Amino acid sequence: DLDKIGGLVPVIQDLNNANEEIRITSAWILGTASQNNALVQSQILGYGALARLVKMGYSTSAKEAAKAMYAISALIRNNVNGQEAFTSENGNAMLQHILGSNSVDVRLQKKAVFLITDLADFQLNSGSSGLPFLSERVFLKSVTDMLSKFDLDLQEK
């Protein structure tokens, strides 16, 4: 257990490192550690790492934003507490930014669409209404505007 041996906090702290590669690696470690692991998800959320990951999602570096999206997805997928924290951290604005910007790498946009699909599916199947941004008009417009992109794979997603 990464937290028991004192490794989780330094990895989270390295999300603020000046070196981009260290930030990317830290996000990857957090994403990998938290995939389908409710205990680790809870620990990472408890240390407040989601706020920094959401900020990294705005990065102009496609690699950094993609690893942040990976970690965010692993933290909040099928996790009500994580989804509530994501909403509190205004994660929907980050998703909207990724979807609406022409300068964002299309691969990152695909990751965002995957996450939105997973969140919507979870909400439908759980009967939860905990993600109000999924029904906001402006947010939905940014999703439907993706259909005008000339990337067939993105349109399919």
How far from each other are the two terminal CA atoms of the chain, in whole angstroms? Answer: 35
Residue spans of the domains in the chain: they are: 7-156
Q: What is the mean pLDDT of the chain?
A: 88
In this structure, are residues 44 and 75 in contact, taking their beta carbons and an 8 Å threshold? Answer: yes
Model confidence over 6-54: pLDDT tens digits?
A: 999 999 999 999 999 999 999 999 999 999 899 999 999 999 999 999 9
In the numeric block, the tokens 């946009």 are attached to 109
Evaluate if residue 68 carries a pLDDT over 80.
yes
Question: What does the pLDDT average to over 55-79?
Answer: 95
Q: Is 61 left (phi over 0), alpha (psi -120 to 50) or beta?
A: beta
The DSSP element (H or E) to which 48 belongs, if any, is none
Looking at residue 78, what is its pLDDT?
Answer: 86
d(CA 54, CA 41): 15
> 7-156 — its CATH code?
1.25.10.10
Residue 120: both structure tokens together: 């919507």
In this structure, are residues 132 and 119 in contact, taking their beta carbons and an 8 Å threshold? Answer: no
d(CA 49, CA 29): 12
Model confidence over 81-103: pLDDT tens digits?
A: 999 999 999 998 999 899 888 88
In this structure, are residues 40 and 54 in contact, taking their beta carbons and an 8 Å threshold? Answer: no
Residue 62: both structure tokens together: 């496609």
pTM (two decimals) = 0.87
Task: Give the confidence band of 134 by pLDDT, cuts at 50, 70, 90.
Answer: low
